Amino acid sequence: MYKNIEKQVKLQLKELVDYQENQVVSKTLVQNGAVSMTIFSFDKDEEISTHAAGGDAMVTVLEGTGRFTVGDQVFILKEGDTLIMPKDIPHAAYGEERFKMQLTVSF
């Protein structure tokens, strides 16, 4: 089920992806018909534009600060904050500063 990640090893999820200048970087840890789990890093002012997911999407910020737009609501999340973005509701993510997040989508 898990890929791109060591098993039976203590990990810091935020260390699984590095920042890259002017980019959003992602590393998929799980991808199947029931769940998708990905770690992302965003450089400052980088974004994932508005889109909708086919499942409920839970994001947890691991480091830094990100801005999330869900429908017509805007949320500023900092390290340790979690937000659930409902299935089929358009949402976007933006780097207020460099930040890292874990995204889990349940289908």
Q: Which CATH superfamily is domain 14-106 in?
A: Jelly Rolls (2.60.120.10)
pLDDT digits (tens, 9 = 90+) for 69-91: 999 999 999 999 999 999 999 99
Going by C-beta distance under 8 Å and a sequence separation of 6 or more, which residues neighbour residue 12? none
pLDDT digits (tens, 9 = 90+) for 1-27: 899 999 999 999 999 999 999 999 999
Q: What is the pTM (predicted TM-score) of this model?
A: 0.95
- Spans of all domains in the chain: 14-106
- Enter the tokens of residue 25: 């970087």
